[in-house]
Structure 1
Amino acid sequence: MRFTSFRTRRTRLWVLLVLTAGLALSGCRAAVKTQAPTEGEVYVYVASPLSGFQANGGQTVLGGVNMMAEELNRSGGLRGYRVIVVPMDDESDSDVAVLVAEQVKADIAAGRQVLGLIGHYNSGQTLAAMEIYKDLPLVVITPTSSELSITQKGYSNFFRVNANDLVQANVDAQFLTETLGVKRVAVVHNDTEYGIGLRDAMVRALAERGAGAAITIQVSEGQEFYDQELPMIQQAGPDAIFYAGYEIEAPYLRFAVIQAGIDVPFLASDGAFLAATIDYAEGTAEGMYVSGFAPSPQQAVDQAWIKMYQEVESRNPDTYSINGYTALQVLAEGVKNTGSFDATKVSDAIRSISIQTPMGVLAFSPNGDLQDASIYIFQVKNDAFVQVYP
């Protein structure tokens, strides 16, 4: 289902949490040089949902990429070439994602110097598009796709700067069982590749810790009403609810659960780690938990970073701005280490680097996964995400 009303709904701005923060990573400050690129142009595509119900998430990724490109260009570009960012709207639709990939392929065939692609945002679109990207002279770095199988297909040009579903499920299950002390979890998920994959990983992770799924329930992507599911949850009598899905379902499920008087901890996955989850829950988000790929902005960036983001984007950073920024930072580091735009050389270089980013020190496995991926857990307190783990 698609809900166009999401295009116009307001966004709560995380930067309210960070404007007074003084914490910073030394490697994450905005560039200060102003040397202009002189050699020409090199293109980086960003494939994300830029319209429709997930537009805000995709736009936060694009904003982070735009900021990193601006930093590079103020410092002379990459190898003297100006980095041009090209937004590509996949509409959160796998068929559209294939069309995006075909356009990228056509642009490369026409002679455009395309260095890489940051995307896709969702796992389903990434899986669909990679069947085309895998054969192109192109480095692909997803900022957010977590489905486990993506890095098990032998792609030589694919990387992700976020944890996969296995890592997320293990951390979330550990938090539920050890920190919250629960044993029986209602595992609810949407019907996407992401939701189904994370469901399976969570069920296994709970079992490995002596806990279990009291019930598993599949809902539809974009579902807003849960009259049929609530009695099932109540009858199962869980100690907690885990939701694997997006911000277009999680707040409505949370609202329904609270209205039904089901008073148990509620943990949503990274797909719900957007301000919309708070905004659309109609006051019921307070106290719920959400897991995410990046640490709190209070620990990841400083005010100089935020100020430059505002300058470049004319808006404040949101949840996945850091992911987009980091993805292009990794791509640029691969170019710098090889002195080349050759996709094979850059991919090989990325596999060997260790780089300080706003998401921590990143290093990659041969299959494109992070060697030491992290998951962070937040709780909604006073209408804001507050990091509670680690």
Structure 2
Amino acid sequence: MTTAPTGGVPDAAALRARVADFVAAHDPATTDPIEFLAARFDAGLAWVHFPEGLGGLGAPRALQAVVDEEFARLGAAPSGREALVIGLGMAAPTILAFGTPEQQERFLKPLYTGEEIWCQLFSEPGAGSDLAALGTRAVRDGDTWVVNGQKVWTSLAHRARWAILVTRTDPDVPKHRGMTYFVCDMTAPGVEVRPLRQITGEAEFNEVYLTDVRIPDSHRLGEVGDGWRVAQTTLMNERVSIGGGAEPREGGLIGLVAGIWRDRPELRTPGLHDALLRLWVEAEAARLTKERLRQQLAVGQPGPEGSAAKLSFARLNQEISGLELELLGGEGLTYDDWTFRRPDGVDLAKRVPGFHYLRSKGNSIEGGTSEILRNIIAERVLGLPGEIRVDKDVAWKDLPK
């Protein structure tokens, strides 16, 4: 195995050599995929910026791209991991930031290999956009907590082994100060998952009922009452994972629409040409902005800029999918895919234009509504005065329900 340069932290060249050595010792064509990923984790090549022993090498975050590119070049890039987006993009960074050594040791490796799928129990029917208004109660009983409440819009809950869960543990203080964050066993008695059928006909999402669910205190992340701060780490990473992923030029929906334009000249009109050019330029600007955000992430932690990336992603997806239908005319209105399914993810490239149009409506809700994200950008990026919040110093129990 290639040794690290002086100082103990590998540079890009050393990492490329380390990946080459690893692939030579673990042939991706013959090694079981989970065994391959487990060995990659043990070698510190899962998340290189994580500490040694937790899937990383303590290297700069920017070098993760070097590792991923080298694995892809050698034909060893992970595939079929759509169901792991919440675990990889949201749970793992939160467990790293707030988990105990025992929690990190227990959860991170099977999360990375895909042996355990995660979901997110945050939103509630009466507290979607205002997460701090949540009412799911957790009451301490010795070394365990008894949880009762309802969560909604929970992707992958029907497959998940674990959930990141935010609860109300102290109703006598203002809403942001009485929350506590847990890891919840989705197989525990009292956890009930029900599908939520969407406008697409599918049920990516679920509603989850928690009835006298017992969670050991050893599964608490962060301090009691500090759940809001822990949740912010999750949310910042969530917005980046939804709207800030790397894409090639003409990646995503804009590439599909541009392809239709090139292949079907009979569909072209001057007005649609202008609309396509405008959205192509906006999509390219958004792609380059996301690349800059990824570079910022390489040297730090997600900030409010991720809200801008997610906001732009939602608006562009909705406008581009609308243009796709307009370009195809009556042909684009056919939709024979309205069947009840429980998909593991959303692969737009393999779906009909009608699905693109319908599914994109959820982009401005999931991962934080566009209205909330505009507030975050205004206050935390532009420095504008915050909205007047009359409930700031009111105990949660005294708030109108």
TM-score band by shorter chain is: under 0.3
Normalization by structure 2: what TM-score? 0.23
Q: Which structure: greater strand fraction? A: 1
Q: Which structure: greater helix fraction? A: 2
Greater length-normalized contact order (CA 8 Å, ≥ 6 residues apart): 1
Normalization by structure 1: what TM-score? 0.24
